[in-house]
Amino acid sequence: MTKKVEAKNANVSYKDFQALHDINLVLENEKIYGLIGRNGAGKTSLLSLLAGYRKATSGEVEMVGETIFENEKAMSQITFVYQSDYKDNHDTIHKYFDLAERYRPTFDRTYAEQLAKVFQLPLNKPLKTLSAGMQSAFQVTIGLANRTPITIFDEAYQGMDAPTREIFYNEILEEQSRYPRTFILSTHLISEMEYLFDEVLVVHQGKLILQEQVDTLLERGYSVTGPTHDVLEAVSGLHVLNEEQLGGTKSVMLYGELTKEKEDEIKRKELDIGTISLHDLFIHLTKEGL
């Protein structure tokens, strides 16, 4: 699988504030990436770089070896969907489809109209008159139907209710099967969306602290529960993320490789080994960093 996008020591500064610090990453073709981070971590700044909307203060962001920023050829292969304010927009969805069909060679109008029916979008009403949920559904419709090689969604589905988001998630998977591409999904809805991701990127305080396949990441997070003394002995020297105590029972959340030797020790002590969700791992990894 070939790489599609690469960032090399990319930094972004706004006057005296550095939003991104030495970002190095490689995104491959035909993968779905989940981008997660706390509020203000730098997610939107990073996505703006990857979409070519912003130039790195220093460093490089490239698509197949070519700089993305102000590169018409590269940017034509990217769709960046983010929350927009349509309160003064009198255009209809139908008109937006006309524009997309004119300026996006990969735009599939038939698919866009199918999605509009699924999302129950009125094609001839001004966008300003639509609910927040319908506006979000319109945005993801454009993003999906553009069918560009790189499709980025920056929390653009926040206005949707749960059933509508589920339709969107299913469409992501179906589209990846029909027209494989690179998807990047920025979200706070980690528990709801983690099944979509092939890899996860974690941004914390402007730094990319982790890029890992989801399955591999989840294997590195685990819990050990049992009598306090035995648990403390078993986890000595390991990377502890969190501890909880209930009476004489202790549960410890850990991050790192569980070696066969350590696993055998835990089992000899008859302690319970449990799994940790991506959501919980994210909370504790960004609480203290790696």
Mind listing the pLDDT tens digit for each residue in 18-33? Answer: 999 999 999 999 999 9
pLDDT at 121 over 80: yes
Q: Give the residue-averaged pLDDT of 273-278.
A: 94
Q: Which two tokens stand for residue 80?
A: 């960046």
| pLDDT score, position 156 | 83
pLDDT at 65 over 90: no
| pLDDT score, position 288 | 56
| pLDDT score, position 86 | 86
Closest listed residue to residue 79, CA positions, set 6, 151, 5, 186: 151
Cβ count near 37 (within 10 Å): 24
* Beta strands across the sheet bearing 182-186: 78-82, 150-154, 182-186, 32-36, 199-204, 207-213
> Which domains can be identified in the chain, with CATH numbers?
3-205 (3.40.50.300), 219-288 (3.30.70.2020)
Q: What share of the chain has pLDDT > 70, as a percent?
A: 98
Q: What is the 3-state secondary structure (H, E, C) of the chain?
A: CCEEEEEEEEEEEECCEEEEEEEEEEEECCCEEEEECCCCCCHHHHHHHHHCCCCCCEEEEEECCEECCCCHHHHCCEEEEECCCCCCCCCEHHHHHHHHHHHCCCCCHHHHHHHHHHCCCCCCCEHHHCCHHHHHHHHHHHHHHHCCCEEEEECCCCCCCHHHHHHHHHHHHHHHHHCCCEEEEECCCHHHHHHHCCEEEEEECCEEEEEEEHHHHHHHEEEEEEEHHHHHHHHCCCCEEEEEEECCEEEEEEECCCCHHHHHHHHHCCCEEEECCHHHHHHHHHHHCC
| pLDDT score, position 158 | 81
pLDDT at 2 over 70: no
Angle at the Cα of 141 from the Cα atoms of 139 and 146, rounded to 5 degrees: 100
Q: Give the residue-averaged pLDDT of 165-169.
A: 96
pLDDT tens digits, residue range 257-275? Answer: 999 999 999 999 999 999 9
Residue with tokens 């959501």: 279
Predicted model pTM: 0.92
pLDDT tens digits, residue range 79-116? Answer: 999 988 888 888 999 999 999 999 999 999 999 999 99
CB 138 within 8 A of CB 93: yes
pLDDT at 290 over 90: no
Q: Give the residue-averaged pLDDT of 174-184.
A: 96
Strand partners, 60: 8
pLDDT at 289 over 60: no
* Phi, psi dihedral angles at 33 (to 5 degrees): -105, 135
pLDDT at 16 over 90: no
Q: Which two tokens stand for residue 102?
A: 């004119």
CB 186 within 8 A of CB 247: no
| pLDDT score, position 120 | 96
CB 133 within 8 A of CB 91: no
Q: What share of the chain has pLDDT > 90, as a percent?
A: 87
